Amino acid sequence: MDTRLSSEQQALVDVARRLTERLGPDGVVSLDDDDRVARLDQATTEAGWRRLRDDDGDGRPLASGVEAGIVASALGQALGDTALFGPLLAADLLRRVGIDAPGAFTVALVPELSSLAVADAGRLPAAVAVDALGATSALALLPDDGGFALAAVPIAGTERSFDLTRWVSSIPAGTELEEIAGSRTLTGDDILEVEAFALSLASADLVGIMRGALELTVDYAKSRQQFETPIGAFQAVQHLLAEAKTLLEGSISVSQHASWAVDALDAGEAREAAAVAKAYCARAAIEVCEVAVQVHGGYGNTWECMAHVYLRRALLSVSLFGDDGVQLAFLAARRMGV
């Protein structure tokens, strides 16, 4: 065992951090800077990050869950307002059915966001295409002979979600699907593995969010003065931030393991590791973002302060493929049969 990143993986961390820091928003005003968003999108495309799960020619993904997690975490930390989660999951699904489909895909989820949308009698019930910026269609599951085939629904238009850094598109019930003719269908294990991957990405994103929110807040605590003292000198503030840092470290440990498990463990084990990571990171991230708001005082409760942008992104990532409650229920069922 050696849980350290390889030197290539460390290099990816550095590149991803540099790129997302340069092109991510540096304040709420820059969230509306369309040129910047376009530049980030283009740089993300050029870096090939949305294709990390494409077929390498032998049916294996180009890169492992670890690399995907590294990029997800960098985007979370920089509040990178570009698509990653959706296209990566779509690529993972397409690879599994043996298709090298050109096109800009994301995934369609059930309205609760807790799983992939599944067609019923050839039509899709109401669904949500998440992470839909730049996507032209969303993938959903089509029951097929005990397994699932893939189908695509066109995306009509996107809007910025409650998370100001990601876009969604709602898909009305009854939208017609176009089946994608793959060479094989998805098995139950495929679905578990895709879920494990999705949860690992969401967890990595949450880790990045925690890092970014903590960094923002520690800087603020050093510079903001009250009682002629930096507020970071007050033990009450120190304890809030120390706890946030500790939660972040615990989160890194579970999230990194879940990213590795995606390709290294069998489906059930990977899915369980993902549930552990997501449950932990979801709770930790809300806590850390709430601390970020609190330590910024009145300013933290304004639109202008970036703390709520982290909190909003965390809230969406928490709900992707099921929040902590959903994961705990999964674990309770699996481990205790209840």
Partner 1 sequence: MDYGDSPEEGAFRDRLRRWLTEDRSWSSASSTDDEYWTRQASWHTALFEAGFFALAWPKKWGGQELHHTFEVIVDEELARAGAPPKPSLGYLIQGISRFGSEELCDRFIPGLISGRDRWRQGFSEPDAGSDLASLQTTAVLDGDEYVIEGHKIWTSYSDVAEWCLLLARTDPDVPKHRGLSVFAIPMNQSGIEQRPLRMINGVSNEFGQVTFDGARVTAENLIGEPGQGWALAMTIVAFERQPAELGYVARYAKTVSELEGDVRSDPDSTRREIAEHIAWAHVQSEMLRLHVCRRLSERLDDPDGGVHGSIDKLLMTWTEQSVGQAARHAAGSATSQAGGDSRLGTYLYSRSQSVMGGTSQIQKNIIATRVLGLPSN
Q: Could you say which of 301, 304, 325, 334 contacts ligand FAD (CB under 6 A)?
A: 301
CB 52 within 8 A of CB 62: yes
- How far apart (Å, rounded) are the C-alpha atoms in residues 127 and 116? 9
- Dihedral angle of Cα 274, 264, 12, 84, to the nearest 10 degrees: -50
Residue 222 φ then ψ, to 5°: -80, -30
How big is the CA angle at 94 (ends 63 and 44), to the nearest 5 degrees?
Answer: 50
* 161 counts as binding partner 1 under rule CB under 8 A: yes
* 157 counts as binding ligand FAD under rule CB under 6 A: no
In the region spanning residues 225 to 284, those forming contacts with ligand FAD, defined by CB under 6 A, are: 226-227, 231, 234, 236-237
**H-helix or E-strand containing 100?**
none
Q: How far is the CB of 179 from ligand FAD (least distance, A)?
A: 52
**Among residues 192 and 318, whose Cβ is nearest to partner 1?**
318
- Dihedral angle of Cα 269, 270, 271, 276, to the nearest 10 degrees: 90
In the region spanning residues 168 to 227, those forming contacts with ligand FAD, defined by CB under 6 A, are: 224, 226-227
In the region spanning residues 36 to 65, those forming contacts with partner 1, defined by CB under 8 A, are: none
Residue 304 φ then ψ, to 5°: -65, -35
**Among residues 124 and 237, whose Cβ is nearest to partner 1?**
237
Q: How far is the CB of 299 from ligand FAD (least distance, A)?
A: 6
Q: How far is the CB of 293 from ligand FAD (least distance, A)?
A: 9
DSSP sequence for 314-337: HHHHHHTT--HHHHHHHHHHHHH-
**# chain residues binding ligand FAD, by CB under 6 A:** 12
Strand 137-144 and strand 225-226: pairing?
unpaired
Q: Could you say which of 295, 307, 315, 326 contacts ligand FAD (CB under 6 A)?
A: 295
| Interface with partner 1 (CB under 8 A) | 111-114, 128, 130, 159-163, 168, 170, 225-228, 231, 234, 236-237, 240, 286, 290, 293-294, 297-298, 300-305, 308, 311-312, 315-316, 318-319, 323, 325-326, 328-329
